[in-house]
Structure 1
Amino acid sequence: MYLRSLKIMNEEIRVQNKYPFSIPSLRGTDSIEFKNAVTFFVGENGSGKSTLLEAISYQCGFNNAGGGRNDNYSVDASMSDLGDHIRLSWFPKINRGFFLRAESFYHFATYLDELAMEDPSFSYGGYGGKSLHHQSHGESFLSLFTNRFGEKGIYILDEPEAALSPARQLAFLKVMNDLASKGEAQFIIATHSPILLGYPEAQILSFDGPSIQEITYEDTEHYNLTLNFLTGRERFLYELFREDEEDDIDS
């Protein structure tokens, strides 16, 4: 591992009531210790997962629109308000890696195409040998993971499953394990995928409470909801739809 711990400067953020400083999980947490090469952030939308990922990326010097230290382009609303209010502890310090934002990946692919137009010597060697726009969404994600993630570094990923089928999520787990098991890479990932969360011995941090807490895979809502659906689909949907009907009657 490279990133060992993170401190949230709560004496600074608690005096601010605007978003994202008002997020309960962030206001209630002083520090996080990263224990394994793979750490997952879980929680509902708006719970602070992506906000903290962006802050970590900012402190790493990565492009907060998505990319590494040398990827120079911008996307609206890609700045990190929290970034100046956290401190990272490293051993050893590393400057290589990548920040993936699934929501702005299209802009990153366009940025690469613009580089190729400006510089005839530019190669897509780190991205599967061709424009990411000339690959399907899932193929382009896997091309990035397989080719760009081939060096020692820290990889910060925001919902990488967004473009991946279940089979390709498993392929991504294989890529991730090939790097993490050699001690060459550290991954910090925000996800809703019960498949990705099943990575062996991963650290899972939940943002759903008043502070960030470590939980087990079996205690995640993602695991339990998926398990209940798959093992009792008809009953699960019956109860779900009946709740909708009752709500309609009450209204």
Structure 2
Amino acid sequence: MYWNSQFLRSIQLMKADIPSFKQYPFHLPSVETLDELVLHPKVTFFVGENGMGKSTLIEAIAVALGFNPEGGSLNFNFSTYDSHSPLADYLKLIKGIDKPTDGFFLRAESFYNVASNIEEMDREGFGTKVIDSFGGVSLHEQSHGEAFFATFLHRFRGNGIYILDEPEAALSPLRQMSMLTRIHDLVQENSQLIIATHSPIIMAYPDAKIFEFTESGISESKLEETNHYRLMKQFFDDKNRMLHHLFEG
């Protein structure tokens, strides 16, 4: 049941095909030490400091699944700037028996481009308006956070695979908590989510698998063991002491 209900079981790096581990992104410890990542059937988190390769790997997984590097559903094929790495070409995806009926790649840094492409498609007037499946209100006429959450709330239909890259960048702490509720709804609707995040709130979703990206590579971790959680806890447990160390240098 564990395997059959999972859309994407694992990812493998085809190391023998890589021309050089001295070039980006193959020189990153998270890529160089990667053999296989066995994903959770419902929710998997990628966490770690900036520059450790979280977004690079999650983008490669999305591209290998057929998503646009800048985000969107499988039928989004626009390109404003070709900046994605070649990592997707060297990933082998091990899939389950069942196939998802929905999917979306949601990334904070290029969400504006997705919103613009939706308006462009609707101006061309091909049948039902695309924006209707995002809540019916122009994403450009909402705040970044509102548009981001509207997409997560309305466009994700369930029984799908959803790839999210740093969704907390547009969300307040309260919205991040609301996002936990929406993640749970999607899990109950037979969905699988892979999320790169810096937010201890979001990564607190129970029974998820957390992979932490460090200079040593990728390792499985518990929420309370992650650097993000420990740092935030240390800050709020003794804010004045932390601020003193920060300001005194």
**Same fold by TM-score greater than 0.5:** yes
Residues 1:148 and 2:150 are matched in the alignment:
no
Equivalent residue runs for 1:6-21 within 5 Å: 6-13=11-18, 15-21=20-26
For residue 171 of structure 2, what is the amino acid of its counterpart? L
Deviations 1:45-64 (A, max 9, x none): 11111111111111110111
Question: Does structure 1 conserve the Cα–Cα contact (< 8 Å) formed by 2:163 and 2:194?
Answer: yes
The offset of 1:126, in angstroms, is: 1.2
Deviations 1:83-136, CA, capped at 9 Å, x for gaps: 010101111243630111210100110011111111074422211111100111
Match of 1:232 among 217, 220, 238: 238
1:140 to partner: Cα distance: 0.5
Q: For 1:82 and 1:120, how far apart are their aligned partners in 2?
A: 34
Contact in 1 for aligned 2:101/2:159 (Cα 8 Å): no
Cα pair 2:71 2:106 within 8 Å, conserved = yes
Tell me which amino acid in the other structure corresponds to 1:206. Answer: E
Match of 2:81 in 1: 76
Q: Counterpart in 1 of 2:197?
A: 191
5 Å-filtered alignment, 1:1-251, equals: 1-13=6-18, 15-91=20-96, 92-94=98-100, 96-119=102-125, 121-123=127-129, 124-182=131-189, 184-243=190-249
User: C-alpha displacement at 1:41, in angstroms?
Assistant: 0.3
TM-score (norm 2): 0.93
Q: Is the 8 A contact 1:156 1:188 kept in 2?
A: yes
Where 1:194 maps in the other structure, the secondary structure is: coil
Structure possessing the higher radius of gyration over alpha carbons:
1
Partner of 2:3: none
- Structure 1 residues 28 and 14, CA gap change in structure 2 (3 angstroms): farther
| Contact 2:10-2:38 at 8 Å conserved across structures | yes
Q: Which segment is superposed worse, 98-107 or 121-130?
A: 121-130
Q: Secondary structure of the residue that 1:188 maps to in structure 2?
A: strand
Q: Contact conserved, 2:71 with 2:111, CA < 8 A, in 1?
A: yes
- The alpha-carbon distance between structure 1 residues 130 and 121, as it changes in their structure 2 partners (threshold 3 A), is farther
CA distance in 1, matches of 2:89, 2:117: 26
Query: Distance between the aligned counterparts of 2:49 and 2:82, measured in 1?
Result: 20
- Count of equivalent residues: 242
Q: How many Å apart are 1:79 and its aligned residue?
A: 2.9
Mapped to 2, the partners of 1:236 and 1:196 lie a distance apart of: 24
C-alpha displacement at 1:181, in angstroms?
2.6
Distance 1:14 1:224, change over 3 A: farther
TM-score by length of structure 1 reads 0.92
The gaps in structure 1 that reach 5 residues or longer are 244-251
User: Contact 1:13–1:27 (CA<8 Å) still a contact in 2?
Assistant: no
Confirm or deny: 8 A CA contact 1:65 1:78 kept in the other structure. Answer: no
Distance 1:68 1:130 in 2: 18
- Residues 132 and 140 in structure 1, CA contact (< 8 A), matched pair in contact too: yes
